[in-house]
A and B are shown apart, each in its own frame.
Chain A
Amino acid sequence: MRNKFTRTLPSSFEWTSHQNEVYPLAEKLTSRFTCRYTYSPSDETLESGEASQDYLAVAIEGYSCRFVICDGVSLSYRGDFAARFLGSRIFGWLGQPRELTKEGFEQFLYELVPEASEAADKLEIPSDVPLLLREVLEEKRSRGAESMYLCGRIELPEAGRSRGSLWLAWQGDCRLRRWVDNREVTIEPGSFVTKERWSGRQGFIGGSPHVYTKEFLKADENHRLMIYTDGFKRLDGCIEPSAINVILNQVLIKQAGKAHLEDDASWLELAWTT
């Protein structure tokens, strides 16, 4: 069915989360990719009027797709700011025509620190907060804003090359899962732990970024990539697509009933055929 309509589908699509909004599950088809996503601040976030500490963005341009998901650290200063700042900068960086390397990515993140630090210093702490809260916020600010992240770029073989590539980088426990022809593929090396993150004051915490690269040929294979934050941790044990859909539907029902999630949650799925 999909091939029949391929010519009428757009070749590009771009979406970025606004951290105060709920985005019910959406599906976007482009000529080369299928993209599904949902995003929701937790009920605690919505009730308090604060911004979600998650950030999610995806862009498809013909044969290329880039994406980033960030999970700000609530015990750091302004996890919402950290996620947005880091996510938007990484998203922009991935959109530049450049060869993606671990060294280049590390250099980029390292050079972001002074800008992040200055931006955090400029964030206003409301004048009406209790003294104790002000002291705590100042202490957090001195330690820095921190976020975990997972990002990547997919280049399909058709993009004027004989080979396509998948490039991924991350620090922290954002979930990353990949299937080829409906078989789940183990990501190696696969360290996804909360103690690893990026700090707008200190740079890398817990080690340097993990990078995963995979080349793929034109092979008529069906690929699926799924990334999400721990707000969707119930998906961790789900292997079958049907089980994943059941949980997503449960979330949709909750959202429709204005009953939101216990934690900020973001989810993105990308599918393509080589």
Chain B
Amino acid sequence: MKYTVQASQRTPALIIYLIDISASMNLLMEGRRRIDIVYDALSLAVRQMVFRSTKGNRLTPRYRIALLAYSDEVYDLLGGVKGIDEIALMGKLPDLTPKRFSDSAKAFAQAEKILKAELPEMQDCPAPLICHMTDGVTTGEDPEPIVKRIMSMGVEDGNVLVENIFISDHVLDEPIHEPRRWKGIDRGTVLKEGAGLKLREMSSVLPESYREMLAEADYQLAPGALMLLPGNCTELVSIGFQMSAATPVR
């Protein structure tokens, strides 16, 4: 489990985003709809990937992305896995429109299919990452067995990483006043919500190489922190999406 292979044109990183577009994503956070905050944070993460993929004046496809939105169905918003260069050409990401339910098991099952198709060709690449953003309890089957299967898949660099961004005001005992000084959630952190506990079981430990990248951006997550972000403010949601793009690059 090294998680040190650098994303390059020859060995691009694969990131699969799973975005919950259930009706509750219409609720407000800091005066804005949750879905709009997520859209902006995702767009910023894409911009960060472009930033980290330029060499000279060119954009080298160091990242490959799939974007799945889910309610009771799964919507493949990019029409398959796309290179960061192709996404930059699109100008902006497809709109995220809230629907009704929240069946995350279907979304993870779709991600598993993508991984099964992609992994044989990417054994020299960085370990793939699934970034799952949700704001509540899943309305479908329990996704955990699928996630555990996914977490046991991998490449030489390490097993597939699963990150969860949980938009909730109630998952922690105390609010996070200074996101940049926050140490993160580990296995021993007291969580108040059942959904949070479930997501913790479905979150990978933050690899040291990712932690160092985030430290360079002045985020002080502690060793052993999990890839689980309680997105109770815009900045934490943003950190979550930045974390997804923290694959080492040269």
Contacts and interface: CB of A to CB of B under 8 A. Distances in A.
B55 A133 contact: no
B9 interface: yes
A43 B107 CA distance: 36
Contacts of B82: none
Contact of B51 (A50, A51, A136): A136
Interface string B2-21: 00001011100000000000
> Chain A contact residues (Cβ within 8 angstroms of B): what range?
20 to 34
Contacts of A49: 58
A161 B130 CA distance: 66
Interface string A46-64: 0111110100000000000
Contacts of A51: 56
B96 to A, nearest CB: 18
B49 to A, nearest CB: 10
Contacts of B52: 75
Interface string A115-138: 000000000011001111101110
Contact of A44 (B8, B47, B51, B88): B8
Contact of A45 (B47, B50, B55, B89): B55
Interface string B39-60: 0000000110011101111111
Given A75-B51, A130-B91, A262 B58 contact: no
B249 interface: yes
Given A74-B250, A130-B88, A263-B250, A80 B10 contact: no
B51 A78 contact: no
B57 A74 contact: no
The B interface is mostly helix, strand or loop, or mixed, namely mixed
Contact of A137 (B6, B10, B54): B54
A126 B57 CA distance: 7
Contacts of A129: 57, 59
A133 B9 contact: no
Contacts of B91: 130-132
Contact of B10 (A133, A139, A262): A262
B57 A78 contact: yes
A125 B56 CA distance: 10
Given A75-B51, A132-B88, A136-B50, A48 B249 contact: no
B56 A50 contact: yes
A87 interface: no
Contacts of B6: 262
13 contacts: A44-B10, A48-B9, A48-B56, A48-B58, A74-B54, A79-B55, A125-B57, A131-B91, A133-B54, A133-B88, A136-B50, A139-B51, A230-B250
Given A44-B60, A137-B54, A262-B10, 9 more contacts: A44-B10, A48-B9, A51-B56, A74-B54, A74-B250, A75-B52, A130-B91, A136-B54, A263-B250
The 9 closest A-B pairs by CB, nearest first: A50-B56, A44-B9, A130-B88, A132-B88, A136-B50, A48-B58, A130-B89, A136-B51, A133-B59
